[in-house]
Chains A and B, each alone.
Chain A
Amino acid sequence: METVGNQSTATPSTKEQSMAQLMGLAVFGEKAAAKNYSLIAQLLPPYASILNKFAAMEAKHAADFLEISQVNHVLPDKAFADRELGYLIDQVEEYFAKKDHESLMILQGFIVESLAIATYEPFIDIADEYPGSREAVKRILQEEFYHVDWITRYLRLQYFDRSGEFISLAEKVNRQGVDCVGGSMMNIADALTTVGIPGADCAGIMIDTYTRLLENVGVDQEKSQENVLEIFLPLIRKYRKISGKHSGECGS
């Protein structure tokens, strides 16, 4: 089975399997996010206190999702999450080794957070099907916005009169980062749809959220839209081809 951006995995055929994949990505993705913020904290000592606070919040999110899974008899699919997160973890390690905290901030604080926001926001609409999830996911979503807000303010200040340099940095991080995290978004699109959240809406929210974050740092709207779309469009094409959703194609 082919997948969009990352390693291969089986397409979930039932609601239970889909939920297992989604909860796998939520639990282990949040754990990875906690580690990412703590790595950024190590590279940025003046802000270590707040960044470690973010790391602790992300670790709590992982625990929350694990609890939601247990209450709802869902076993988070760790193998799926490992395959999806492997490429992201490699990139994080590469940036950390280079002491490149700003690339790490864009990758974690913008791209990964955009994926989280894009899936948690519509999840709230179906949350009542999963006891104990509504309030937890609402709080988690608010906290992700809080992290994104801080990262935005930091980058905006750093690049206040150097937006051209920020575009170059974002383009560099996007090439690998969106391909990897956006690829995961496409790989869970069908699982999301199966549990009742339109996968295309989530992908659209991720594109829109990330585009706006770049704008909030100071990138011109058109430039930021072009840049994000340029990287997402090949992922969308791969998704459509793999899913056989090309109208006129046999079996579509």
Chain B
Amino acid sequence: MENVAPDSEEILFLAMIRRFEELALEKYRRYVPGLATGEKTALVNRLTRCAPDGGELERSPLFQPMEALLKPAGAEGCEATLIIQGLILENFGFRIYEAIEQSPATRGLTKELSQLGRSTSQTTLSRVPSLVRQELGEKEGLFDKFIENSGEVLGQLDPLWEAAEKIFSEKFQIKFSQVLGRVTADLIKNCVELGINRRDLTLYLTGALMGL
């Protein structure tokens, strides 16, 4: 692996994913042990060792929208954890890691941690559907629970996304609307596989993202 010190954008990216991954692991350990895998633990340990602890993040425009998202993302309970962390934020994580990993500007530690993050999210995502079925059920009942738990998080995603876009898109040459389109398409696909009606879900997601 190329030994290059992370630059200012990479430091912010690593500090940001550290916060999200630490929260995800904490929630998984407490409420969904099946997702607190060795791989996830190894990723968080690696991020805790290597990624900055947040001073830079606190001084950046990412901080406020990130805190606004982390608050509802930390909701308690198995139901909230499976929906917010397992279904929504893991999908985001997977596509963000993928985009950063594939960027020609990504080097050294950032590349290594993005690869690790992507593969860890992929493992987590592969386990989520069976756990959701087992704990929360399927179809309309699941959709009601999805609506109950996801609104606040969905409403805070785009403000963070917008702040991230301003900081990262030039450096990593990422078109964020494309990544967000992929994330939303993945989320729809995963939910439809769990029996949620696609049209109802699209209407709900549109409203949630519009802030209505």
Contacts and interface: CB of A to CB of B under 8 A. Distances in A.
A44 interface: no
Interface string B169-212: 00000000110111011001100000000110011111101111
Nearest to B175: A230
Nearest to A243: B211
A238 to B, nearest CB: 10
Given A204-B203, A226-B182, A236 B212 contact: no
B211 A245 contact: yes
Contacts, number: 94
Contact of B177 (A204, A225, A230): A230
Identify the interface centre among A189, A211, A236: most chain B CB within 10 Å of its CB. Answer: A236
Interface stretch (B29-37, B49-57, B97-105, B154-162): B154-162
Interface stretch (A62-70, A155-163, A194-202): A194-202
Contact of B205 (A199, A204, A211, A239): A204
Given A204-B204, A236-B206, A245 B185 contact: no
A204 B207 contact: yes
A233 B198 contact: no
A228 B68 CA distance: 28
Nearest to A211: B202
Contacts of B206: 200-201, 203-204, 207, 232, 236
B199 A233 contact: no
A222 interface: yes
A11 interface: no
A247 B64 CA distance: 12
Contacts of A205: 199, 203
Contacts of A245: 210-212
A82 interface: no
Nearest to A189: B210
B174 to A, nearest CB: 13
A67 to B, nearest CB: 30
Interface string B76-93: 000000000000000000
A42 interface: no
A229 B184 contact: yes
A200 B182 contact: no
A208 B203 contact: yes
A73 B77 CA distance: 54
Contact of A226 (B152, B155, B185): B185
A175 B156 CA distance: 26
Contact of A229 (B185, B204, B207): B185
Interface string B134-155: 0000000000000000001001
A230 B180 contact: yes
A234 interface: yes
Contact of B202 (A204, A227, A230): A204
Interface in A116-135: none
Identify the interface centre among B152, B181, B184, B211: most chain A CB within 10 Å of its CB. Answer: B211
A233 B180 contact: yes
A139 interface: no
18 contacts: A199-B210, A200-B212, A201-B206, A204-B207, A208-B198, A225-B181, A225-B185, A225-B188, A229-B184, A233-B158, A233-B181, A234-B177, A237-B158, A239-B210, A240-B158, A240-B209, A243-B210, A247-B155
Q: Which 8 A-B pairs have the closest CB atoms?
A: A245-B211, A200-B207, A230-B181, A204-B203, A204-B206, A229-B181, A225-B185, A200-B212
Given A204-B203, A248-B156, 9 more contacts: A193-B212, A200-B210, A201-B203, A204-B205, A204-B206, A205-B203, A208-B203, A222-B189, A229-B181
Interface of A: 189, 193, 198-201, 203-205, 207-208, 211, 221-222, 225-234, 236-237, 239-240, 243, 245-248, 252
Interface of B: 68, 152, 155-156, 158-159, 162, 177-178, 180-182, 184-185, 188-189, 198-199, 202-207, 209-212
